[in-house]
Amino acid sequence: MLTFQQLASVTHGKVLQFVQALPIIHLLTDSRKLSQPAGTVFFAIRGKYNDGHKYIAALYGQGVRQFIVEKEQDETGRTYSECYPDANLLLVTDCLGALQQLAAWHRAQFSIPVIGITGSNGKTIVKEWLAQLLSPDELVVKSPRSYNSQLGVPLSVWQLNSNHTLAIFEAGISLPGEMEKLQPIIQPTIGIFTNIGTAHDEGFTSRQQKVQEKLKLFTKVDVLIYCTDHELLHHEVQAQPIKTFTWSRQHKADVTVTATTTAGHKTIVVYTYKGEKQRLAIPFTDEASVENALHCLAALLYRNVPFAEIQDRLDRLHPVAMRLEMKEAINGCYLIDDTYNNDLAGLAIALDLLANQPQRVRHTIILSDLLESGLPEEALYGQVAALIKNHGVEKVIGIGPTISHHKTKFSDAAVFYSSTADFLAQFKTDDFRNELILVKGARVFEFERIVHAFQQKVHGTVLEVNLDALVHNLNYYRSKLAPDTKLMVMVKAFAYGSGSFEVANLLQFHRVDYLAVAYADEGVMLRENGITLPVMVMNPSPDSFAKLRQHNLEPEIYSLELLEQYLKDLPSDTLRHRIHLKLDTGMHRLGFTSEDFDALFPLLQQHPQIQVISTFTHLAGADEALHNDFSLMQIQNFKSMAAEVEVRLGYKVIKHALNSAGIVRFPEHQLDMVRLGIGLYGVEATGSEQEALKPVSTLKTTVSQVKSIVKGETVGYSRKGIADSDKIIATIAIGYADGYDRRFSNGAGMVIINGKRCPIIGNVCMDMCMVDVTGLDVKAGDEAIVFGSKLTLTEMASRIGTIPYELLTNVSSRVKRIFFSE
């Protein structure tokens, strides 16, 4: 067991205080993910948006007693030893570096084969597949999900224990210099370089430099496995003294693929290895999967797995779910479907996600036996039970003989079943109501059958919301803000159609300063679902004031009349009542003008219990350069009006003017706070920096029927869709009642089916519409993308003369929302 003193020497740190010897088991880098204080060491990492030192006090309060810090004292000047007399404290120059050094030291304790994987695409899939393909012979440890960053790699490697016989870790970089840090942590003995593409190009001066950087992972490997068909990659590898094991479809290589043909749902590969010709059926047909499978084939051949055995194992390969999905289910329940990954690290990640969703009061887990953890059963189920307990999960359902055998480790209320079939036989929908349910099981337990039992009847149309993209966009706007500029995020209109509490919840987790909604009910809904951030309500009706106070929501006051109504039934308590003053500087929608001031301020002065928190204005034309002069005039007027507000009130308030477009266009006028809206949802309203954002929402539906019509026949209501030639048409399950605008009728709109754009033919109906799929291979059940990354909201909006805001917020509430993260 590593001691604190050893930890100090491994990380070249200085012990500031040593109180007691404690086990070093859990490395914590995100204070929100604390689960077992005993045995936890917290690394106070300073990141771009956050500083771990801010969370030491809270963690100490929760029982953490080991801290790695970069400073000796907190911002008030008190030393950490003085503040935390019971804690072991270690001072280092760089907490992330210390974590990496510790992981590298840990890695060096083991002399098993370690496969290191990098490349632009396919890293995670190749890793997951190899783990499946090699596990009949080996006890494999692997990176959880796509933990491949400067932070993720050390945490992955830390899982290694003495029972493992093989490790597979992935490494991803976005900047020069990063791979040199990951190499000593992974110390791969076998390398796999999947391919090289455009991802993260912006961090490097050239594609060649990017390849060279990535190759630094492999400076000490026994062998590097790669495909020589990637010319640049091949060229760079050859320039280095690395031993290789290659495959190719174009040249002679260690594994030469001479033919690939598709047969039904399989791809038949003919290849030559050591002079012998072999055939292999890969259970996938798409190009990316075939390439990933060929990397795996090469790795298996290199490890001398017999040919027949390779086929047998490939047959059992299953697609990897790359993301954790949260889906609506029966009786108001939500389901986190994590049916593919059931190691301990994966369990911890999924439980974190569960714990960070306060909106469903009751949290439930359905968990199978854990296979291949490398730990003795006793210890394993002890840890599983502790993790579940520490994440506040109330209802535990265990399925499988082994977990059932260890039932005494779990709470008394936990229920156990010997098999999935046993559970399903006793399943009653009424037993589950308004719960958030994590479903997590090893493949052999076929938990997809459980997921299926919980699913609501699906109307084929869904709006998929990518929570990672949302966070990416949030961080992009944050990177534009001065360090002390606050951030208010607009979650009005069901968070621009994306689902208000799921989005609000993520924003709360990422510590934005404020939320804003349009109406009182939207704010109440947030409160009822566990949102505790301050919330501004922009258009409160007088009859909602009591409700606002009851839920601690803060009204925007925009007129004297509204203020008078607000004051009328203000309770005579001693509480502070927080309001926001809206000023009209040219939008001419809501807001006070300077003429109102002489009446406004005396009224406020008579009610000292009212506290003006902020004052703000809204720009009428920030999205268009054409209006720059007008916007600047609005900003100037606002500044002088706001200054007068502060003088008349006699105290400072938060001043804010910029919306998403304003943040991009007028960075010098951020004032105290900005109000982010559409940008969070992936639309850059000025159009100049669209590239930097990721699309958040994808609206999808399915093909209900395909039929042929002959020239001259018509399609749909009013016979508007006239076939000018023989056609194949497909009916898709979306109409104007789903929010699919009727203006998309007759060729104005289109959807993507199997990668091809298909124009709308005829009028859009209430629940359906028809598209022209002539010449394409389309069948009932195929997916149709209505908008998403290849069919952007901006493009679709402009086709019918509207704006992305309208398309997004129109998606009807009957369309199921699916939230996922990658």
The residues annotated with a catalytic role in the active site are: 492, 717
Q: Considering beta carbons, is residue 604 or 678 the nearer one to ligand PLP?
A: 678
What CA–CA distance (Å, rounded) separates 68 from 78?
17
Pair of tokens at residue 515: 């939320």
CB 437 within 8 A of CB 365: yes
Close Cβ partners of 52 (under 8 Å, ≥ 6 residues apart): 29, 31, 42, 43, 44, 45, 46, 95
Task: Pick the binder of ligand PLP from 678, 765, 768, 785 (CB under 6 A).
Answer: 678
Please tell me whether residue 618 binds ligand PLP under the rule CB under 6 A. yes
Query: Applying CB under 6 A, which part among 125-133, 316-324, 637-645, 653-661 lies near ligand PLP?
Result: 653-661
Please tell me whether residue 749 binds ligand PLP under the rule CB under 6 A. no
Site size for ligand PLP (CB under 6 A): 12
CA angle at 697 for the pair 692 and 699, rounded to the nearest 5°: 140
Query: Applying CB under 6 A, which part among 27-35, 37-45, 641-649, 671-679 lies near ligand PLP?
Result: 671-679
Please tell me whether residue 498 binds ligand PLP under the rule CB under 6 A. no
CB 583 → ligand PLP: shortest distance, Å? Answer: 11
CB 618 → ligand PLP: shortest distance, Å? Answer: 4
Contact flags string 509-538 toward ligand PLP, x per CB under 6 A: -----------------------------x
CB 450 within 8 A of CB 397: no
Query: Applying CB under 6 A, which part among 122-130, 570-578, 628-636, 674-682 lies near ligand PLP?
Result: 674-682
Q: Considering beta carbons, is residue 335 or 487 the nearer one to ligand PLP?
A: 487
CB 287 → ligand PLP: shortest distance, Å? Answer: 38
Pair of tokens at residue 365: 């887990």
CB 739 → ligand PLP: shortest distance, Å? Answer: 18
CB 417 within 8 A of CB 397: yes
Q: Considering beta carbons, is residue 134 or 490 the nearer one to ligand PLP?
A: 490
Q: How far is Cα of residue 617 from the mean position of the Cα atoms in its chain? A: 32
CB 538 → ligand PLP: shortest distance, Å? Answer: 6
Contact flags string 684-723 toward ligand PLP, x per CB under 6 A: -x--------------------------------------
Please tell me whether residue 682 binds ligand PLP under the rule CB under 6 A. no
What CA–CA distance (Å, rounded) separates 440 from 36?
21
CB 584 → ligand PLP: shortest distance, Å? Answer: 11
Task: Pick the binder of ligand PLP from 37, 122, 172, 677 (CB under 6 A).
Answer: 677
Query: Applying CB under 6 A, which part among 7-15, 83-91, 254-262, 675-683 lies near ligand PLP?
Result: 675-683
The helix/strand/coil state of 440 is strand
Site for ligand PLP in 531-570 (CB under 6 A): 538
The helix/strand/coil state of 499 is coil
116, 252, 254, 316 from 303: Cα distances, Å: 15, 20, 13, 19
CB 676 → ligand PLP: shortest distance, Å? Answer: 6
> What are the φ and ψ backbone dihedral angles of 675, each rounded to 5 degrees?
-120, 105
CB 629 → ligand PLP: shortest distance, Å? Answer: 19
What CA–CA distance (Å, rounded) separates 544 from 151?
47
Task: Pick the binder of ligand PLP from 373, 544, 615, 659 (CB under 6 A).
Answer: 659
Q: Considering beta carbons, is residue 476 or 736 the nearer one to ligand PLP?
A: 476
The helix/strand/coil state of 307 is helix
What CA–CA distance (Å, rounded) separates 104 from 186?
7
CB 795 → ligand PLP: shortest distance, Å? Answer: 18
Q: Considering beta carbons, is residue 337 or 684 the nearer one to ligand PLP?
A: 684
Pair of tokens at residue 598: 């002489």
What CA–CA distance (Å, rounded) separates 208 from 685?
34
CB 514 → ligand PLP: shortest distance, Å? Answer: 11
DSSP-assigned letters across all residues of 405-474? HTGGGS-TT-EEESSHHHHHHH--GGG--SEEEEEE--GGG-THHHHHHHBPPPPS-EEEEEHHHHHHHH
Q: Considering beta carbons, is residue 618 or 817 the nearer one to ligand PLP?
A: 618
Beta-carbon-side half-sphere exposure of residue 452 (alpha carbons within 13 Å): 6
Contact flags string 342-381 toward ligand PLP, x per CB under 6 A: ----------------------------------------
Query: Applying CB under 6 A, which part among 123-131, 154-162, 469-477, 670-678 lies near ligand PLP?
Result: 670-678
CB 684 → ligand PLP: shortest distance, Å? Answer: 10
Residue 20: how many CB atoms within 10 A of its CB? 10
Closest of 277, 249, 266, 246 to residue 314, by C-alpha: 266
Query: Applying CB under 6 A, which part among 114-122, 471-479, 654-662, 705-713 lies near ligand PLP?
Result: 654-662
What CA–CA distance (Å, rounded) separates 358 from 354?
8
What CA–CA distance (Å, rounded) separates 59 from 56?
5
What CA–CA distance (Å, rounded) separates 646 from 565?
23
Burial annotation 302-321 (CB, 10 A radius, 16+ → b, else e): bbebeeeebeebbeebeebe
Q: Considering beta carbons, is residue 225 or 678 the nearer one to ligand PLP?
A: 678
Q: Considering beta carbons, is residue 35 or 660 the nearer one to ligand PLP?
A: 660
Query: Applying CB under 6 A, which part among 185-193, 310-318, 409-417, 677-685 lies near ligand PLP?
Result: 677-685
CB 463 within 8 A of CB 327: no
Is the Cα torsion angle 735, 740, 746, 749 positive or negative in sign?
negative
Task: Pick the binder of ligand PLP from 289, 359, 373, 660 (CB under 6 A).
Answer: 660
Query: Applying CB under 6 A, which part among 256-264, 342-350, 565-573, 673-681 lies near ligand PLP?
Result: 673-681
CB 540 → ligand PLP: shortest distance, Å? Answer: 14
Name the percent of the chain in helix, strand, coil, to the closest 5.
35, 25, 40
Q: Considering beta carbons, is residue 677 or 788 the nearer one to ligand PLP?
A: 677
Site for ligand PLP in 248-307 (CB under 6 A): none
Query: Applying CB under 6 A, which part among 216-224, 302-310, 672-680, 792-800 lies near ligand PLP?
Result: 672-680
Q: Considering beta carbons, is residue 535 or 678 the nearer one to ligand PLP?
A: 678
Token pair 């982010």: residue? 676
Site for ligand PLP in 432-491 (CB under 6 A): 490
Q: Considering beta carbons, is residue 414 or 658 the nearer one to ligand PLP?
A: 658
Close Cβ partners of 309 (under 8 Å, ≥ 6 residues apart): none
Close Cβ partners of 568 (under 8 Å, ≥ 6 residues apart): none
Q: Considering beta carbons, is residue 349 or 685 the nearer one to ligand PLP?
A: 685
Q: Considering beta carbons, is residue 523 or 679 the nearer one to ligand PLP?
A: 679
The helix/strand/coil state of 460 is coil
Pair of tokens at residue 424: 């399903």
Please tell me whether residue 675 binds ligand PLP under the rule CB under 6 A. yes
The helix/strand/coil state of 165 is coil
CB 350 within 8 A of CB 438: yes
CB 489 → ligand PLP: shortest distance, Å? Answer: 9
| Number of residue whose CB is nearest ligand PLP | 677
Q: Three-state secondary structure along 36-104? A: CCCCEEEECCECCCCEHHHHHHHHHHCCCCEEEECCCECCCCCEHHHHCCCCEEEECCCHHHHHHHHHH
CA angle at 183 for the pair 182 and 188, rounded to the nearest 5°: 125
Interface with ligand PLP by CB under 6 A: which residues?
490, 538, 618, 659-661, 675-679, 685
